[in-house]
Amino acid sequence: MTAIDSVAPRMPQAPATPLPPGACDSHTHVFGPFDRFPLTQPSSYPLPMAPAALHAQMLDTVGAACGVLVQPAPYGSDPAPMLAALALGGGRLRGVGVADATISVTELTRWSDAGIRGLRFVEMRDPKGQRYAGSVDTTHLAALAPAMRALGMHAQLWASAADYQRLLPALLALEVPLVLDHMGCFDIARGPADAAFVHLLERLRAGQVWIKLSLCRVSKQAPSYDDLRPFHDAMVAANPARLLWGSDWPFVRMGDNAPDAGALLDLLAAWVPDPAVRRQILVDNPALLYGFV
């Protein structure tokens, strides 16, 4: 893999509303350089050239003191790009890796010591209806749960809201903190009264799950995302102490529709006008979950 096969990600403008000190972008990815960090799986999307230095520049531009890296599927369970970025981050980064039930406790401990605070499990399918190559599904979580509990790791889940109705009872019984990607991936067309979305709100209100407010994967009405506003408002009203904000930079599979992370933060400021609540979402909650100090 060479730079010829990659695309430059969209870089943000600074948000008009400055972020509070300690703010965190809780959902980002790094890719490359591909001569140093080749893929372990075939990619179903054009690859962004988004190495650690560019990721740091993105955080600096939007004013985020901290960031969380999430393992992308084309790297499978190879954490090398993430571990390199964590090592360069000077304590401002944490990671969410990918591992199946065969990983040793020794290796998982090494990851934890390096700053990886969770493991990602995927039930969503690629555009062809296939599992993303390199992803690990939730069937592995029960075997991994004892080691994850011992290390203080959480499970990050990417599934549909309808899937969560089926999956969450058994997963909650494992007593591993659960973080739901992309606002829980509900169906906007079904409206806020849909049973699957109401179920998400109930779990959120009870403090049983964390949810990432990442708009661009749920709505296609960029850049205003007007269709998401009632869902977003309902989540903030339900339990802001269990919400996180994530840009999803560098916006894989979005092409020219990739948003500006700074504009996404300005939308958060407009939709959550109370500075204390924004600070909770951007600073306090990620500090608690990921161990930022």
Q: How is 170-205 classified by DSSP, letter by letter?
A: HHHTTT--EEESGGG---GGG-TTSHHHHHHHHHHH
Query: What pTM, to 2 d.p., does this model score?
Result: 0.95
Per residue in 40-89, pLDDT tens?
A: 988 878 899 999 999 999 999 999 999 999 999 999 999 999 999 999 99
* pLDDT at res. 134: 84
Per residue in 208-226, pLDDT tens?
A: 999 999 999 999 899 999 9
- Distances, alpha carbon 254 to alpha carbons 204, 208, 250, in Å: 28, 31, 9
Show which residues are catalytic. Answer: 248
Mean pLDDT of 159-171: 96
Average pLDDT, the chain: 95
- Considering only residues 260 and 124, tell me which one the structure prediction assigns the higher pLDDT: 260
* pLDDT at res. 1: 38
3-state secondary structure of 155: strand
Alpha carbon dihedral 116, 118, 119, 124, in 10-degree steps, equals -120
Mean pLDDT of 181-198: 97
Mean pLDDT of 106-119: 98
Residues 287, 22: contact at Cβ < 8 Å? Answer: yes
- Burial letters 101-121, b for 16+ CB under 10 A, else e: eebeeeebeebbebbbbbbbb
Per residue in 57-71, pLDDT tens?
A: 999 999 999 999 999
Alpha carbon dihedral 212, 118, 261, 208, in 10-degree steps, equals 10
* pLDDT at res. 22: 98
* pLDDT at res. 5: 64
Structural domains of the chain sorted by starting position, each given as residue range(s) with its CATH number in brackets: 23-290 (3.20.20.140)
For the record, the structure tokens of 223 come out as 């850049």
* pLDDT at res. 7: 87
